[in-house]
Amino acid sequence: MPTAGELDCRFTFQKRQTTAGDGYGNFQADWQTQFTVWTKRIFVRGGEQVIAARLEGRQPGVLTVRASPDTRLISTDWRAVNAEDATEIWNIRSVQPGVDRDEIEFLVERGVASG
């Protein structure tokens, strides 16, 4: 489990919420903030796929949070936004519970279409 000192970034987790339609069957889905938690952020380095992603302007990474009733709800249709820099938006690609189930790791990617 990450120590308190390793949880050095605050991220807001958001999911899409469908809002009222226009009467013609068209609905709008806006990102709604669910909660903000401290995370550990690691930028992925190495392998051919990571280098290829960087050449395409994508940045893969891993966000680790402490497991809680809120964080257990997060799935791949959510996104993570840096609470201190709203331009840093990460799409969640996979969700992996930690070994002791007291943490959750998210494989995330930045620099791609959001949603």
- DSSP line for 68-103: -TTGGG--TTEEEEESS-TT-EEEEEEEEE-TTSSE
**What's the CATH number for 9-15+30-110?**
2.40.10.270
Do the beta carbons of residue 104 and residue 73 sit within 8 Å? no
The residue count of the chain comes to: 115
Site of tokens 């290829």: 52
pLDDT digits (tens, 9 = 90+) for 5-29: 778 899 999 999 887 667 777 777 8
Q: What is the mean pLDDT of residues 56-75?
A: 90
Considering the entire predicted model, what is its pTM? 0.80
